[in-house]
Structure 1
Amino acid sequence: MFGLGAPELGIILVIVLIIFGPSKLPEIGKAIGSGLGELKKATKEVEESVSLDDE
């Protein structure tokens, strides 16, 4: 995943904790998760649209 290992992810997590604090982490995680879900859905719709156009 982007060449990131466990130490790099740990450093990123610590920086995020310092910036936002532990109380905001669930909200941030939920926002990122829903954003990734929407991106996946949109990607699937585009792939289906392109495959239908090819037929």
Structure 2
Amino acid sequence: MNFAAIGVPGLLIILVIILMLFGPRKLPEIGGAVGKTLSEFKKSAKDVMDDEETDTKKASEAEKRVD
């Protein structure tokens, strides 16, 4: 299933359904929770990428020393 094919009308329908399910008072709380979750995920992914990059550099330096 390709989520890019949803389009604007599909997104509007989804937003209306979410609004009916949770009501306008809960939406800011849900949005804040989603935002915090996404920022924590991005931070964790960046940390993993940085750790992997550091490990790769250390391995290449060790190979140079052996040569």
Q: TM-score, normalised by structure 2?
A: 0.76
Deviation at 1:8, TM superposition (A): 1.2
**Count of residue correspondences:** 54
Which residue does 1:38 correspond to in 2? 40
Report the alpha carbon displacement of residue 16 of structure 1 after superposing the two structures with TM.
0.3
Residue aligned with 1:23, SS: coil
Give 1:24's aligned residue.
26
| TM superposition score normalised by structure 1 | 0.92
Larger Rg: 2
| Unpaired segments ≥5 residues, structure 1 | none
Q: Show the counterpart of 1:6.
A: 8
C-alpha RMSD over aligned residues: 0.8
**Runs of 4+ off more than 4 Å:** none
| 1:5 alignment partner AA | G
Name the structure with the higher helix share: 2
Residue identity matched to 2:40: E
Query: Which residue of the partner structure matches residue 15 of structure 1?
Result: 17
Cα distance in 1 between the residues matched to 2:14 and 2:30: 14
